[in-house]
Every structure is written in structure tokens, then in C-alpha cells.
Amino acid sequence: MTSRRQFLQQSLAVAAPLIVSPAVLGADSPGNRINVAFIGTGNQGMGLLKRFLARDLGNVLAVCDVNEGSFGYKEPEHFYGRIPAKKMVDDAMAKKAKGGRSIRCDAVSDFREVLDRDDIDAVVVVVPDHWHRIITVMALEAGKDVYCEKPLTFSVADGRLMIDAVRKNHRILQTGSHERSNPVSQFVCQAARAGKIGRIKRMVTKVGFNNKISPPPGWKPMPVPSKFDYRSWLGPAPDAPYHQDRCLYRFRFHYDYSGGQITNFGAHCNDMAHWGMGLDTGGPTEIECQNASFLPAGSLFNTATQTRFRCLYPNGVELVCESGSEQVQTRFEGTDGWLQTGYDGTSASDPELIAGCPQKPRGIDDPHSSHLANFIDCVKSRAEPRAPVETGHASAVLCHLANAMIRLFPETGPHRIAKWDAANEVFVNDDAANKMLDREQRDPWS
């Protein structure tokens, strides 16, 4: 499908004279700027929108969220939603209007209004996980390029549908695995991949503990806020009574919408493990849950609070992912030394291994901003982005396999080793685990 922008560019290529004004071909010229919409303007969405505007990566023509605006996202003082997002865009555009550029930004509640627009080239999808596949596939089929936050998928089955939609429609998809645009992570993973510590034998990754407190058993439903479309927020998920701690930032602690910290932090640290091992699109041959703790039955949150799982890969490398301080995200242990990196910095068995490691950039060059910029660059050039759909799928699959084993842990206990057929994306002779590779979704979204 040819977008309005592509059609105009093709028309100009045919009709333009041999001598073209630099103003037409400049990086900031109207014909070279990408028109974008942000779908989801909560905690992460507002952060990405702020970075997108600060770096002036394109024109934001629309923002979309089922919440008009409210306090209480990740922290009580956070006031987010489509109206605060529109104000952020309008304020940024007002500063640029003095230079002769004025862009209208619309605020809508239904993402389909965004996808129906011919003047929007790309969308940034920052919604709860249970909406990722639906919105992304519909956007791809509408001819939009997509930046979709991690974890890319809500289930193993979602990933194949998303890969097929990207390739069939010849679209660009960037997974929001922003560590791929962090020069520190690039340095460490490339060093491990290049054999700087010899042959990798073992990797250890960390996922944070739950950072919010669940309402206890006996919690009571709450009235739905007047400016929040809760039915649309639920969408394909099972019907459930409203509570403020079910939505906004806290959706990640409910299996009906996410996968806990395994898919939150784990989508980064385990993606880095795959990256450093040189297995961007592969998977393990076996997986076992060694420990899992849950809140008391009847609590509003139901994802595991503490976990430890182990994987074995075809090359003999072992991966252990466990709850702990995510200040150390990923550690590579090889025959000739070790490397590790995280929010606390980077270290190694020999200081020479990290000589020349860059500092983590901040401001408009921070990893989130650079990852968005890479996406926009690829929308223009049609090159593959740093975290393409197959890579995002493989990292999410590992997290989903882990959650299948974690959720079965209360019944089966430790020492249950499941065999995984990565080529066919199925557990071998394990019906209980295979039932968790897909999620039932309510009509009309099924």
C-alpha cells in the first residue's frame, strides 16, 4: 500500500526539474518529515512522546488514548492521557511556529481513527501488552510503519501473526528494545559475541521485584472514572470489575494483560543475552522453573513476585534468569573471563575487556531517543531497524516460555524440565504448557 507521503514523493520525483531548491530536499523540509501518531499516552508513551518532540523527529499529527487525562500513573503526581499529550505536542509546536511551522495535533480515543488517516505514515504503539498484536497488525495492514513497545507480543502465537503482517505489507517494525540503541549495551554484547571472553558458557540475567503493592484479598471494585473508557481498555481481555490498580502502570502485574516483571524487565535483559550470544532469532531447547512465589489467592495482582528459571540452548549455553536488583541486567560468563552490564554500570573480569566502553548517553541522545531516531531513519530509508520484528518476537517468546513454566510451578514444583521445539514453536509432548502459548481473546478482537 502506498501512503500519501510516498505518493507525493513519487510524483515529485517524476515532475521535479533537474535543479531543486535545498529547502525542498533539506532534512527538515515538509516532504522529508514523517507524520506520526502516538497510540497510548500513559507512563511510557508520554516519556517517548517527550523524547520524540525534544529531538524533533517528525510531525505528531495525533495522540490516542482511552483515558482523557488523570493522575496516578506510575506515581500519584503523574498526570497523563490524551489531553495532556496533546498539550505537550501543542506547546512544542508553538515554540516552532515562530519559524513558520505550525502542525495540528488531534486527540482521539479510538485507535481506528488514527489508522484510517492517509496523512499518517507511522504509529508509536505504547499500550498494555494485550493490545499489542491487534493494534500493530491493523496498523501494518493500513500501510503504517510501527514502533511497538516491548514485550512485542502478549503470547507466542501473536508473534507469527505480527511477523507475517510486517513481511506481507513490506512495512518497518521497530521493537521498543531500546538497549539495542544503548552504546554501552552495544559494546558489551558485541564484545561477548566476538569472543572477547572466549566461548560463552553461562549467562545470568536479572528481573526486578514487583515495584507496586497489590490490593489484598477482599478488595472491592471501584466506580469507573467518567473520563476513562474502561470497556475499550479491556478490549480483548476477560471481563473484570474496575479497580484503579488494574489499569494504568499496574496492568503489568495481571496475567490477563501482561506477564509481570518477566516480560517487563526480562524483555530487555534476556534480549541482551540473545544478542551477546549471537542468537537474535533463536530459542532454547529446554526450560525449567526453579522457583516461583505468588501473592495470596484473591489478591488483585496475580503475577509471580519472585522467580528463577533456567534455559539450555542448542550451543550448550545455560541461561539463568532470576529476581533481584536489575542494576545488573545481563552477565556473560565465558571460558576466558566475564562481562556484565546494567544500570549500575559495566564491569569485567579484566579491566582491559571494557577499555573504551562508552558512557551511557543522556538528554536527546539517550537510548530511548536514539531508538526512536533509528526507527524514523528506517522509515525513510526502508532499512531494517535495530530491533526488527523477528528479534522482538524471539525475546518475547523466551519470556512467555518462562511464564508458562512459572504459572505451572505451584502444581508441578521444581525439576519439571520442558523440551522446546524452537523451529515449530511448540513444547514437546507437554499439553499443559502448550495451552499457554496462546491467549483467548474476546470478540470482536479474536
Specify the length of the chain in residues.
446
Buried b / exposed e across 408-436, counting CB within 10 Å, b at 16+? bbeeeeeebebebebeebebeebeebbeb
Residues 52 and 201 in one domain: no
Please state the rounded mean pLDDT for residues 422-426: 96
Residue 399 confidence (pLDDT) above 50: yes
Residues 173 and 190 in one domain: no
Give me 6's grid cell: 510516498
Residue 316 confidence (pLDDT) above 90: yes
| Per-residue pLDDT at 69 | 97
Residue 208: inside a domain? yes
Residues 193 and 111 in one domain: no
Give me 30's grid cell: 515538509
Please state the rounded mean pLDDT for residues 382-386: 98
Residues 199 and 141 in one domain: no
Residues 206 and 230 in one domain: yes
Segments forming the whole domain that contains residue 29: 4-178
Lowest mean pLDDT among 52-61, 98-107, 274-283, 287-296: 98-107
| Per-residue pLDDT at 325 | 81
Residues 28 and 73 in one domain: yes
Question: Angle CA(191)–CA(192)–CA(193) in degrees, nearest 5?
Answer: 90
Residues 160 and 185 in one domain: no
Residue 375: inside a domain? no
Residue 148: inside a domain? yes
**How many structural domains comprise the chain?**
2
Domain end position, chosen among 178, 196, 218: 178
126-159 pLDDT tens trace: 999 999 999 999 999 999 999 999 999 999 999 9
Average pLDDT, the chain: 92
| Per-residue pLDDT at 328 | 81
Helix (H) or strand (E) holding 312: strand 306-312
Residues 88 and 223 in one domain: no
Residues 233 and 297 in one domain: yes
- Cβ neighbors of 287 (< 8 A, separation 6 or more) are 309, 310, 311, 312, 401, 402, 405, 417, 418, 420
Residue 191: inside a domain? yes
| Per-residue pLDDT at 29 | 54
Contact between 333 and 201 under an 8 Å Cβ cutoff? The reply is: yes
Residue 228 confidence (pLDDT) above 90: yes
Question: Angle CA(124)–CA(129)–CA(134) in degrees, nearest 5?
Answer: 70
Residues 161 and 78 in one domain: yes
Query: Quick one: how far is CA 71 from the chain centroid?
Result: 23
| Per-residue pLDDT at 30 | 57
Q: What torsion do the CA atoms of 227, 62, 373, 140 make, to the nearest 10 degrees?
A: 100
Residues 304 and 214 in one domain: yes
Q: How far apart are CA 393 and CA 267, in angstroms?
A: 10
153-194 pLDDT tens trace: 999 999 999 999 999 999 999 999 999 999 999 999 999 999
Residue 95: inside a domain? yes
Residue 302: inside a domain? yes
| Per-residue pLDDT at 32 | 84
Domain end position, chosen among 178, 211, 229: 178
pTM over 0.95: no
Quote helix, strand, coil % in the chain, to nearest 5.
Answer: 40, 20, 40
Residue 240 confidence (pLDDT) above 50: yes
Q: Which CATH number is 104's domain given?
A: 3.40.50.720
Can you tell me whether residue 334 is helix, strand or coil?
strand
320-367 pLDDT tens trace: 999 998 778 999 999 999 999 998 899 999 999 999 999 999 999 999
253-288 pLDDT tens trace: 999 999 999 999 999 999 999 999 999 999 999 999
Residue 102 confidence (pLDDT) above 80: no
Based on its alpha-carbon atoms, the radius of gyration of the chain, rounded to whole angstroms, reads: 22
Contact between 339 and 331 under an 8 Å Cβ cutoff? The reply is: yes
Q: How far apart are CA 327 and CA 147, in angstroms?
A: 26
Residue 8 confidence (pLDDT) above 70: no
Domain end position, chosen among 160, 178, 196: 178
Contact between 163 and 169 under an 8 Å Cβ cutoff? The reply is: no
Q: Where are the alpha helices (DSSP H) in 170-302?
A: 183-193, 230-234, 260-264, 266-277
Residues 210 and 190 in one domain: yes
Distances in Å between the Cα of 196 and the Cα atoms of 9, 44, 95, 173 are 46, 35, 48, 31
Residue 72: inside a domain? yes
Q: Which CATH number is 328's domain given?
A: 3.30.360.10
Residue 225 — pLDDT band, cuts 50, 70, 90?
very high
Residue 365: inside a domain? no
The per-residue DSSP string of 248-268 comes to GGGGGG-TTT--HHHHHTHHH
| Per-residue pLDDT at 99 | 57
Distances in Å between the Cα of 242 and the Cα atoms of 225, 228, 239 are 9, 11, 9
